[in-house]
Amino acid sequence: MELTVSEENYLKAIYHLSEGGKKSVSTNDIAAEMKNKPASVSDMLRKLGEKEVIEYRKYYGLQITETGKRYALQTIRKHRLWEVFLVEKLNFAWDEVHEVAEQLEHIHSPLLIQRLDAYLNYPKFDPHGDPIPDEFGDVRSRPRVQLNEMEVNQTGQIVAVEDSTPAFLRYLDKVGAYIGARIKILDKVEFDGSVEILVDQKKTIFMSKDVACNILVIQS
């Protein structure tokens, strides 16, 4: 079965919202994520239900099916592989890739993705630290914590960001936080949740809770 670009985008949004811990995904949430109106979402949910990529009962809620998950993961795989390509091969900055990958993820060609994967040397993570599903849709997820939840003196390594907007990513570039950086919590301010961290045993960075909660760390 072939999905349209719009259907692929909806399914991806639904998958992400489902994985985000929330029990049920609401029409309003999807509308917000897709930047369109709830009425449009209702239209699309009916169609996705008919195509059996979600299980949908009006007014009750929806659940993504196994088939739907496979489609979503395939699109996510393509998105993240293209992001790696743009950064590794075309020297894009990590804050410049998302919009283009959003288009490239809809190019339909199994051969293309297989070759791209090989060309990039089968990367496991995208430039934002997000895992790249394999061709069967398997994702290797690592136990990650938000930086603001760590305690003073704990150490770890930055492995991903939860916000991929250019503004946030450029800010991280500016202060010197990057994927792969080894960090240690030097201080936490009770009052506002801001933290001070040591990066690579060299540089001290002070950041607000708003920033810290979008940085994901593997503790060590």
Partner DNA sequence: ATTTATTTTTAGGATTGCCTAATATATTTT
Partner DNA sequence: AAAATATATTAGGCAATCCTAAAAATAAAT
Which one among 2, 21, 23, 39 touches DNA, defined by CB under 7 A?
A: 39
Token digits for 21?
């811990």
| 103 near a copy of itself, judged by CB under 8 A | yes
Helix ranges, 20-133 (H): 27-34, 38-50, 66-88, 98-104, 110-119
Q: Tell whether residue 123 is a contact of DNA (CB under 7 A).
A: no
Name the β-bridge partners of 155.
Answer: 184
Q: Check: CB of residue 65 under 8 Å from CB of residue 45.
A: no
Neighbour count for residue 219 (Cβ, 10 Å): 13
Residues near a copy of itself (CB under 8 A), total: 18
**2 touching DNA, by CB under 7 A:** no
Find the binding residues for Mn ion in span 53-92 (CB under 5 A): 83
Give which of 159, 164, 150, 198 is closest to 179, Cα–Cα. 159
Q: Any contact of residue 126 with Mn ion (CB under 5 A)?
A: yes
CA distances from 202 to 27, 78, 179, 184, 206 (A): 47, 36, 16, 11, 13
x-or-dash pattern for a copy of itself, window 119-138, by CB under 8 A?
Answer: x-------------------
Contact pattern from residue 41 through residue 60 relative to DNA, giving x for each residue in contact according to CB under 7 A and a dash for the rest: xxxxxxx--------x-xxx
For residues 135 to 174, the per-residue mask of contacts with DNA, x marking binding by CB under 7 A and - elsewhere, is: ----------------------------------------
